[in-house]
C-alpha cells in the first residue's frame, strides 16, 4: 500500500501522532516527508524521517515493526472521520492541500518529484 500521502503516522513508543505529506517504501523500511517541507519558510527541524524495519500492509495503510519501534501509517483520506482519525493531523494536512493549490502542484506530482531524492523504492 506504499507509497502513501497524505498520511497519519502513529508512533507507539513514545506515543505520538504526526502528519505526513508523503510516505515512501525504502530499501530497509519506510520514510516520510512532513508537511512543513513546503512551508514558505521551512522549520529548522528535519522534515524527512526514515525508519528501518519490516513493513506489512494493514487495512488502512501499513505497519512498520523493528526491535525498537512500531509505527502505524494510515492513509489520511481512508481514516477521515473514523476512530483511527486524528483531527490535529487532518488540520495540518488540510493546510498542505491549500499550499499545494497555491504552488500549482499535487500530492502525485510531489511524490514523483521527491522519490529519487529520498531513494524511494516504491
Burial class (CB in 10 A: 0-12, 13-18, 19+), 99: middle
- Consecutive sets of 10 residues in the chain, 122 residues long: mean pLDDT of each? 82 89 93 89 84 94 94 92 88 93 93 87 70
d(CA 69, CA 89): 20
| Alpha-carbon torsion, ordered 56, 13, 94, 120, to 10 deg | -40
pLDDT of residue 122: 66
| Nearest partner of 110 among 12, 27, 17, 34, judged by Cα | 34
What does the pLDDT read at residue 61? Answer: 94
* pTM, to two decimals: 0.87
Contact 53, 63 (CB under 8 A): no
Residues in CB range of 56: below 8 A, 6 or more apart:
62, 63, 65
Rounded Cα distance between 87 and 41, Å, is 24
Antiparallel, parallel or unpaired: β 70-75 and 61-65: antiparallel
Amino acid at each position: 500500500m506504499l507509497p502513501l500521502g497524505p498520511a497519519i503516522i502513529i508512533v507507539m513508543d513514545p506515543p505520538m501522532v504526526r502528519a505526513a505529506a508523503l510516505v515512501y517504501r525504502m530499501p530497509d523500511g519506510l520514510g516520510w516527508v512532513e508537511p512543513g517541507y513546503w512551508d514558505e519558510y521551512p522549520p529548522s527541524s528535519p522534515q524527512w524521517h526514515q525508519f528501518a524495519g519490516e513493513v506489512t500492509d494493514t487495512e488502512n495503510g501499513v505497519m512498520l515493526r523493528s526491535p525498537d519501534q512500531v509505527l502505524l501509517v494510515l492513509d489520511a483520506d481512508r481514516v477521515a472521520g473514523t476512530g483511527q482519525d486524528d483531527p490535529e493531523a487532518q488540520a495540518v494536512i488540510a493546510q498542505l492541500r491549500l499550499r499545494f493549490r497555491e504552488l500549482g502542484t499535487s500530492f502525485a506530482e510531489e511524490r514523483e518529484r521527491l522519490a529519487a531524492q529520498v531513494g524511494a523504492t516504491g
